[in-house]
Amino acid sequence: MPDLDALFDPKGIIITGVSKHPGKFGFVTLHNLLTSGYEGAVYPVSREPGEVLGLSVIGSIDDVPDGAAEMLFICTPPAINEGLLRQAAAKGVTAAFCAAGGYREAGPEGAEMEQRLVALCDELGIALAGPNGQGVVSTPSSMCAQIVAPFAPAGKIAIASQSGNFVSSFLNLANHTGVGVSRAVAAGNASVLGIADYLEYFTNDPETAVSLVYIESVDDGREMFERMAPLAARKPIVVVKGGASAAGARAAASHTGALASDDAVFDGMCRQAGLIRAKDVEEAFEAAATFATQPLPAGDRVVVVTTVGGWGVAAVDAMADTRLEPTALSDDLMAAIDEKLPPRWSKNNPIDMAGGETRDTVPEILQLVAEHPDVDAVVLLGVGIQSNTAAMIRGGPFFPNHGLERIVGFHERQDTRYAEAAAGISTATGTPIVVATELANAAPDNPAPATLHALGRLCHASADRAIRSLHHLAGHSAWRQARGL
């Protein structure tokens, strides 16, 4: 197993194929690397002398000081890359990301060059990522070494994908939600390093709490299972698979063979290995974001807390398709809540506060519910509505007169307080508290979603989606418990 530290945290980077043309991959990579704030030494290599983005280009890798760079980022065509790798190895480079295409995906000639590339990297002791990949991101090193956007906020999710497009999708969702990323890598043709290699690195990586992978093709499913299962027992791995609807290829002589669609077998493999399988990219990101920021629930018993009615009903409905159960409120919890709310509250789960909350009610109710031994997880709904009203008042013709300035400030502080309470109380009690409001999409500046965003925690866009994420956490928790983990 090659050491991937030089790929994810290189102390210096050589970029080949740098050009003054802002449309070229070499230029974009240099731009992204400098823009993301990478602090190591950067050596742009170009045939044309001069400056690019304020850096003097060098004509040859031979001009890089010995030991100054650990990673080579390749944007040059296949025909010259073997020579570049030899030069780079002589300077102390131990990892290469080959973004250049023209290899296996381009035909038999490219395939032959890819074989030579693999053999050479093996000979030189270079860990080879790609070829034909979009790049590598590492927030601990402020490194966006990619031929495309975006970079992402720092966080605990590590991403590996057989499609570069989905690296971008996940990073876009990280930016949108504020739930950050530790590492991200596109496997490209994965001629040496594959998904399982990256997962092994992420599982050992102290910067990573959860891995998130997109898989399209499985060459050796048995090997994948055997490598991933021990990793999944140590750190959660969320998987989304493309091509899941393809039917099994083998003409079956048996009923069992006829029932063994690729997807049914892949799904069973995931369950056995403890991989968390999501049905699409959004669900996968949200599950990973929840794993990264919430404690694991001890069981399936959920209480919904909502400021007003309908949302809570929909959340309980959404549990029907999951392993989660809306648990009955025990007598002592009912009595404790009675002390805090006016008599019109729902008296059951979902806890509908019926608009009866005062300054500290929401945090107090959350605390009572989250610390109760009969509750494994909490869903908080209806946050942001006060600030939504405040936003309309703020934009209306009467503001700030008629006492409106004061009430607007109160509403906004309240929603900030609710979001902070959800985060703080879940951390303090070890009970996950997921928050959902469509304002996360409709009005991301609303203090409720904006506060969660600033805290690096996910504000789900609907109760259904929050329930889905919790379902994945509870399922993984059950998988662990069944195996004594």
Partner 1 sequence: MSTTLSEAESRRVVSGYGVPVSPFVTGTSTAEVLAAVAADANVTFPVVAKLCGRAIAHKTERGLVRLRIADTDALAAACDELLGKAVPDDGKVEVLVSTMVDGNRELIAGLNDDPQFGMTVMVGIGGILAEAIRDVSFRLAPITEVDAAEMLNDLATQRLFGEFRGEREADRAAIVDALVALARVGVEEPGLRSADLNPLILVDGKPVAVDALLEIGEDGDA
Residue 187 CB, shortest distance to partner 1, in Å, is: 18
Q: Between 259 and 392, whose beta carbon lies closer to partner 1?
A: 259
Q: Give which of 38, 238, 10 is closest to 151, Cα–Cα.
A: 38
Spatial neighbors of 107 by CB under 8 A, at least 6 apart, are none
Pairing of strands 301-306, 351-352: parallel
Q: What H or E segment, with its residue span, contains residue 78?
A: helix 78-90
Q: Which residue in the set 262, 283, 286, 415 belongs to the binding site for partner 1 (CB under 8 A)?
A: 262
Cα end-to-end span (Å), the chain: 26
Binding partner 1 (rule: CB under 8 A), the pick from 268, 373, 400, 430 is: 268
CB nearer to partner 1: give 67 or 221: 221
| 220, 197 contact by CB (below 8 A) | no
User: Binding of partner 1 at residue 485 (CB under 8 A)?
Assistant: no
- Tell whether residue 256 is a contact of partner 1 (CB under 8 A): yes
Peptide bond into 373 cis (omega under 30): no
Distance in angstroms (rounded) separating the CA atoms of residues 181 and 195: 17
Q: Look up tokens 């369950």; give the residue.
A: 271
**Which region, judged by CB under 8 A, interacts with partner 1, from 108-116, 247-255, 278-286, 361-369?**
247-255
What residues from 269 to 328 belong to the interface with partner 1 (CB under 8 A)?
269, 271-272
Q: How many residues contact partner 1, by CB under 8 A?
A: 29
The only residue of 63, 123, 220, 445 in contact with partner 1, by rule CB under 8 A: 220
Of the candidate residues 234, 250, 344, 347, the single one contacting partner 1 (CB under 8 A): 250
Q: How far is the CB of 215 from partner 1 (least distance, A)?
A: 12
| Nearest distance in Å: CB 237, partner 1 | 17
Angle at which helix 385-395 crosses helix 404-429, to 10 degrees, equals: 160
Footprint of partner 1 on 395-424 (CB under 8 A) = none
450: tokens are 């904006």
| Least distance (Å) between residue 130 CB and partner 1 | 24
SS (H, E, C) 276-306: EECCCHHHHHHHHHHHHHCCCCCCCEEEEEE
- Is residue 245 involved in binding partner 1 (CB under 8 A)? no
Least gap, CB of 265 to partner 1 (angstroms): 5
- Closest residue by Cα to residue 29 from 127, 125, 148: 148
Closer of 271 and 406 to partner 1 (Cβ)? 271
Closest CA to 430 of 365, 375, 471, 381: 375
Query: What is the smallest separation between the CB atom of 275 and partner 1, expressed in angstroms?
Result: 12
How far apart CA 413 and CA 420 sit, in angstroms, is 10
Stretch touching partner 1 by CB under 8 A, among 116-124, 126-134, 147-155, 475-483: 475-483
Fill in the per-residue mask, 326 to 345: x = in contact with partner 1 (CB under 8 A), - = not in contact.
--------------------
- Binding range to partner 1, per CB under 8 A, among 93-101, 135-143, 257-265, 369-377: 257-265
Helices (H), 178-300: 195-204, 221-232, 255-259, 262-273, 281-293
* Look-up of token digits 């296949």: 78
How far apart CA 58 and CA 62 sit, in angstroms, is 9
Report d(CA 178, CA 440) in Å as an integer: 11
Q: Which is nearer to partner 1, 79 or 249 (CB)?
A: 249
Q: Which residue has the tokens 């504000």?
A: 459
Nearer to partner 1 among residue 384 and residue 475 (C-beta): 475
* Dihedral (CA of 301, 306, 309, 315) sign: negative
Give CA angle at 143 (138, 145), nearest 5°.
100
CA gyration radius, the chain = 26
Contact between 247 and partner 1 per CB under 8 A: no
Binding range to partner 1, per CB under 8 A, among 30-38, 97-105, 261-269, 365-373: 261-269
- Binding partner 1 (rule: CB under 8 A), the pick from 54, 79, 108, 255 is 255
Given the complex with partner 1, which of 97 and 479 has the nearer CB atom?
479
Contact window for partner 1 (CB under 8 A) among 104-112, 259-267, 394-402, 414-422: 259-267
Among 79, 249, 331, 398, binds partner 1 (CB under 8 A): 249
Q: Is 67 left (phi over 0), alpha (psi -120 to 50) or beta?
A: left
Based on CB atoms, which residue is closest to partner 1, 119 or 259? 259
Work out whether 243 is an interface residue with partner 1 (CB under 8 A).
no
267 binds partner 1 (CB under 8 A): yes
**In the bound complex, what is the minimum distance in angstroms from residue 264's beta carbon to partner 1?**
5
**Distance (Å, rounded) from C-alpha 401 to C-alpha 399?**
5
Binder to partner 1 among 257, 342, 355, 409 (CB under 8 A)? Answer: 257
Q: Which is nearer to partner 1, 77 or 257 (CB)?
A: 257
Whole-number Å distance between alpha carbons of 456 and 410: 24
Q: Quick one: 18 or 270, whose CB is closer to partner 1?
A: 270
Q: Between residue 158 and residue 217, which ones bind partner 1 under the rule CB under 8 A?
A: none
Residues that bind partner 1 (CB under 8 A): 218-222, 225, 249-250, 252-260, 262, 264-269, 271-272, 479, 482-483
